[in-house]
Amino acid sequence: MIYVNGKYLDPMGNDSYAEEYRALRKRLLSDEFQWPIVIKTRNTPMINPTGYVEPPQNVVIPSVSMIEMEFGTVEWRYTTSHPQVVNGVLQFPTNRIFLNETTIIERDHIDLALYLIFKAKPGVSDGFLYLHDTRKESDEYAKNRARFGAVSYMLYDEDSPLSGSDIRTIALAFGISNADSPKYTDNEVKRLLEEAIINGETTGDELVNYKKFKEYSRVGEHVKQMAAVQKLYDNKIVEFDSTDGSFYLLDGNGARADKVFKISVVDIRKKDALFLKFLRENERMRYMLKEDYGVDVTGDTHSFYYEELMAMEMSELRKVAKTEGIESFGRKKDDIIADIMRKRTGTSVKEKEKEEGE
């Protein structure tokens, strides 16, 4: 049974706590949960990485929890029976709940399940305990297998649309240093990329994960530009200082020559994207990197024309391509735009530099 703020919660009552109780009980009895309820004290295998079997992990959960609400704190308590009054004080028979590594709860103990899943602190709601649901685990397993099956296909299958060069470009865009170097074989780069994706999924990395890999597998202009930024680091052309968020241009000896850009240290995870944005907006810097170091970071994709073309629907873009005499049928949007940009801008950057020099 359940007590709230020291008072028995009548399942048929008409107060807000009784209503909440009935709603939670209804959830527990719906298809959302699988009976009997199985609660585990850990969500990891019993065999540790060294091969030794770990001892059972038994825990003790307080039978009373303080729940913070907007209007104040509410005390929820699970008890096996009504309390007795001793010297004017309620004495509950249940103060602690002992749980084995795996605890099975039948329907006739639904209040215990309700308390452990929704109200106990610590409990299931805050990740201290784990619900063992074979249906959910199977669904999650199938989802993960589908994701990583797709990764395996794109990286290793002989019918994959990605070439070795594509995979190296994606790896660079994901920040894998020297992924285009001959010191790595194609298979080594594939493995590094696969490990990065798995690690990103495990840690919740928003910048390196399966979704990003799926997006990057089109190997569009943005991916090539992100790869070019990584090349600037690998070739010792640019150095990033994580202590203050500054980007430095290096001289021929690898020493810092000039500070070219600075970001907030809270944005370090996004440093490459922010540096790329800076380069898109700094034509002279781009031209210097291309002419002096041979690294074409953004091509023409920094311009207003590019942004305008990218915002177009394919039907509208095909009309523009037709006026420029460019074939668009069956081609990727990025490739069509690249041809339009080459035709529209030509050597505009060099011409501008020449004009400024005069």
Kindly state whether residue 224 falls inside one of the protein's structural domains: no
Q: Does 159 map to a domain?
A: yes
Taking the C-alpha atoms of residue 342 and residue 325, their distance in angstroms, rounded to an integer, is 12
Strands 64-69 and 246-250: what pairing? unpaired
| Final residue before a domain boundary, out of 248, 277, 294 | 294
Question: Do 13 and 47 belong together in one domain?
Answer: yes
Query: What is the rounded CA–CA span in Å between residue 272 and residue 116?
Result: 44
pLDDT at 351: 40
Answer whether residue 256 is part of any domain. Answer: yes
Angle formed at CA 169 by CA 167 and CA 175, multiple of 5 degrees = 105
pLDDT in the model for residue 347: 40
Domain range for 121: 2-132
**Same domain membership, residue 244 and residue 211:** no
Classify residue 2 by burial, with Cβ atoms within 10 Å: 0-12, 13-18, 19+: buried
> Are 26 and 147 within one domain?
no
Q: Helix or strand or coil: residue 64?
A: strand
Domain final residue pick, 132, 151, 167: 132
Give the C-alpha separation, 8 to 2, whole Å: 6
Shared domain for 289 and 314, answered yes or no, is: no
pTM higher than 0.85, yes or no? no
| Phi, psi values for residue 143, rounded to 5° | -65, -45
CA pair distance 269, 264, nearest whole angstrom: 10
Number of domains in the chain: 4
Q: Residue 29: what pLDDT?
A: 92
Tell me which of 219, 242, 277 is where a domain ends.
Answer: 219
Secondary structure letter of residue 116 according to DSSP: I
Domain assignment of residue 358, yes or no:
yes
Q: In the chain, which residues have pLDDT < 50?
A: 48-49, 347-358
User: Are 258 and 347 members of one domain?
Assistant: no
What DSSP string describes 28-46? HTSTTS-SSEEEES-SS-S
Bridge partners (DSSP) listed for residue 8: 3
Assigned token pair, 8: 């028995």
Structural Rg of the chain based on CA atoms: 30
Does residue 287 share a domain with residue 201? no
What residues pair up with 2 in beta bridges, in sequence order?
A: 78
- Which residues are within 8 A (CB) of 156 and not within 5 positions of it... i.e. 6 or more apart? 190
Identify whether 225 is part of a domain.
Answer: no
In a domain, 226, yes or no: no
Cα–Cα distance for residue pair 71/88, rounded to 1 Å: 28
Average pLDDT over the chain, rounded to an integer = 84
**Amino acid 221: pLDDT:** 83
Q: In this structure, what token pair is assigned to residue 291? A: 């002419």
Q: Classify the C-alpha dihedral 268-270-271-274 as positive or negative.
A: negative
Assess whether 11 and 123 both reside in one domain: yes
